Chains A and B, each alone.
Chain A
């Protein structure tokens, strides 16, 4: 099973700002996004920008307990993926994968895996596959070509390219050029891009540059106190999909 092309994804941190609000948002976004990334709240969201860091610290529950408040994420999206920092789960990869499985997630994305635990990549893939999940990988624009190629050969659900240095912070970077370069290495592996996406023109040009899916996080979270306005952001962004 894969993700439809092109598609729009949404990032949310589980149980932020509260369990009730989190579930309300999940209900609201049904049908508006093609895939979901559910962040596992952590005490050390090192590669996240200020807005998403606040969600980790402000989530009502911490760790996998937060994820378990929903027993089937498949109700809200065809392709739900968990996202966490592998630093928290180095010694419990299997348990983490079985929790993911139990809530009907299809993969776990660890943004720190290739940077901080490159020696763990093979084990991660094994654990995903043996638990009936697909691997997925986070890379930065400067990831070595050989490694990018190798990751694409694990048959991942997707490769996620972080467009900027941290979530939510736009910098003057030729992101389209970076997307096109990575696309040239990974063949037809599904390429997700994200970080600081906040308007349909950006969605459009990223897809045109070679992305298959675009994720919104910070911009949505900033509007979350007013669900209507947050949902209308998603509709507006969808307008950028061809």
Chain B
């Protein structure tokens, strides 16, 4: 039987090139200094750790286990039959966690470390609500308050997730809100402002700075977030009965992709297996940073409150066209993933929303699980690749979430 991993894996120390350090812009106050005031201290240590394997606190492992880790690794026999050429397909089902996505893997340790710092409350942003929901669950279990700034357009259209978060006791504000100066300014400029993830981040940080005992926690892109997600891949290595020829995941900021693939890629980089395995990162054509972005220092948030990091980016002011896969509408990719794509170790591909959702429907009808629209992007790539691969080939992909709260996304393609 597979156990809950005891450590998180830090790929930085196995990369072919060093990760460039974060950097302050030349204008304004030091963003690096600001991190100290807003983030749980242990997370900053983890962002800069030299350890290859970082121990997972027992309390966190315990919650992982109670929430359903290890998550199932399943064979997609229905989808295999549909494709019909003898290619074998496995998937890791992160949607089996109570929040319905992989986001809990990092929400739990982040809230835990905030609590250990003496915080009474955590603040964060959310788009479609997957991250906000995970934080709400983790906060309820650990006993701190959660305050979530949710982009207003999603706040209106994803009512179920708002109610879900409130069920766990979270306070959810539509962003722009009346509770921070960034929100008030945005509303003054445009009373019908639909909100953006960047603005919601600025609001969450400002809110954190306003009160005692608050910590800000981020949902993707930072290296410690990716590291927390590596429980997925470590479990998968133990669970999968044969070596995959191809491992696939979707990319918003890179956390679920990294979570599944990094333990495999690390072994490959160290010469300890998976020599022949390919890795494919799938993004949305609405935010194609991996296939069309520039590799440069940029802000992770559109407000420019956080330190700049070197990554593949479309620019922090890039406004993606609307997409049902809100979790993929992000302008940049985590520094380590950007580096791996540039080095040719990870391949990248972009799909349109329609291409992805069509694949999501195929999966739902052949496997019985409605995938999150984000995960459907990975499924599209799996189907396209499988059709080209010889009989007996093995594919593994990350089903990063279920789509039980996103049936509206599938309305037009079903």
Chain A interface (Cβ within 8 Å of chain B)?
46-47, 49-50, 53, 114-116, 118, 139-147, 162, 164-166, 169-174, 177-178, 181-182
How near does chain B come to A136, taking the closest CB pair, in angstroms?
16
A-B contacts, 6 listed (Cβ < 8 Å) = A144-B13, A145-B13, A145-B14, A165-B21, A171-B35, A174-B49
How near does chain A come to B189, taking the closest CB pair, in angstroms?
31
How near does chain A come to B268, taking the closest CB pair, in angstroms?
14
In the complex, which of the residues B16, B30, B50 contacts A142, with contact meaning CB atoms closer than 8 Å? B50
Q: Is the CB of A171 within 8 A of B23?
A: no
**Which residues in chain B, 115-156, are within 8 Å of chain A measured between CB atoms?**
none
In the complex, which of the residues B16, B32, B297 contacts A144, with contact meaning CB atoms closer than 8 Å? B16
In the complex, what residues of B have CB within 8 A of residue A166's CB? 21-24, 30, 32
A178 with B49, Cβ < 8 A, contacts A49-B30, A145-B14 known: yes
A178 with B13, Cβ < 8 A, contacts A142-B18, A166-B23, A171-B36 known: no
Q: Is the CB of A115 within 8 A of B50?
A: no
Q: Is the CB of A50 within 8 A of B36?
A: no
12 extra interchain contacts, Cβ-Cβ under 8 A, other than A142-B10, A178-B50? Answer: A47-B23, A118-B18, A142-B19, A142-B49, A144-B12, A144-B17, A165-B307, A166-B21, A170-B36, A171-B48, A172-B44, A181-B50
Which of A142, A169, A172, A173 neighbours the largest number of chain B CB atoms within 10 Å of its CB? A142
- In the assembled complex, B51 has its CB within 8 A of some CB on chain A: yes
In the complex, what residues of A have CB within 8 A of residue B41's CB? 172
- In the assembled complex, B409 has its CB within 8 A of some CB on chain A: no
Which of A115, A170, A171 neighbours the largest number of chain B CB atoms within 10 Å of its CB? A171
Q: Nearest CB to that of B310 among chain A residues?
A: A115
How near does chain B come to A206, taking the closest CB pair, in angstroms?
14
Q: Is the CB of A172 within 8 A of B307?
A: no
Chain B interface (Cβ within 8 Å of chain A)?
10, 12-24, 26, 30, 32-33, 35-36, 41-42, 44-45, 48-52, 223, 297, 307
Q: Is the CB of A50 within 8 A of B20?
A: no
How near does chain B come to A170, taking the closest CB pair, in angstroms?
8
A165 with B22, Cβ < 8 A, contacts A144-B13, A145-B14, A172-B36 known: yes
In the complex, what residues of A have CB within 8 A of residue B297's CB? 46
B contact face: mostly helix, strand, loop, or mixed: loop
How near does chain A come to B308, taking the closest CB pair, in angstroms?
9
A147 with B18, Cβ < 8 A, contacts A49-B30, A50-B30 known: yes
In the complex, which of the residues B12, B18, B33, B307 contacts A114, with contact meaning CB atoms closer than 8 Å? B18
Docked pose: A177 CA to B19 CA in angstroms: 19
Q: Nearest CB to that of A116 among chain B residues?
A: B20
In the complex, what residues of A have CB within 8 A of residue B18's CB? 114-115, 118, 139-140, 142-144, 147
A142 with B23, Cβ < 8 A, contacts A166-B32, A173-B44, A177-B51 known: no
Docked pose: A182 CA to B49 CA in angstroms: 11
How near does chain A come to B18, taking the closest CB pair, in angstroms?
5
Which of A53, A139, A144, A181 neighbours the largest number of chain B CB atoms within 10 Å of its CB? A144
Q: Is the CB of B13 within 8 A of A173?
A: no
Docked pose: A180 CA to B56 CA in angstroms: 20
In the complex, what residues of A have CB within 8 A of residue B32's CB? 49, 165-166, 169, 171
Q: Nearest CB to that of A164 among chain B residues?
A: B48
Q: Is the CB of A178 within 8 A of B48?
A: yes
In the complex, what residues of B have CB within 8 A of residue A181's CB? 50-51
In the complex, which of the residues A49, A141, A170, A182 contacts B24, with contact meaning CB atoms closer than 8 Å? A49
Docked pose: A144 CA to B52 CA in angstroms: 10
How near does chain A come to B333, taking the closest CB pair, in angstroms?
17
Docked pose: A47 CA to B310 CA in angstroms: 12
Docked pose: A197 CA to B48 CA in angstroms: 17
In the complex, which of the residues A116, A144, A162, A174 contacts B45, with contact meaning CB atoms closer than 8 Å? A174
Docked pose: A145 CA to B20 CA in angstroms: 15
Docked pose: A166 CA to B24 CA in angstroms: 8
How near does chain B come to A146, taking the closest CB pair, in angstroms?
8
Q: Is the CB of B20 within 8 A of A115?
A: yes
In the complex, what residues of A have CB within 8 A of residue B44's CB? 171-173
How near does chain B come to A54, taking the closest CB pair, in angstroms?
11
How near does chain A come to B340, taking the closest CB pair, in angstroms?
12
How near does chain B come to A184, taking the closest CB pair, in angstroms?
9
In the complex, what residues of B have CB within 8 A of residue A182's CB? 50
How near does chain B come to A85, taking the closest CB pair, in angstroms?
12
Docked pose: A115 CA to B20 CA in angstroms: 5
Docked pose: A172 CA to B32 CA in angstroms: 12
How near does chain B come to A140, taking the closest CB pair, in angstroms?
5
Q: Is the CB of A142 within 8 A of B24?
A: no
Docked pose: A166 CA to B22 CA in angstroms: 8
* Chain A to chain B: the 10 pairs with minimum beta-carbon distance, closest first: A172-B41, A142-B12, A181-B50, A178-B50, A115-B20, A141-B50, A143-B18, A171-B44, A173-B48, A173-B45
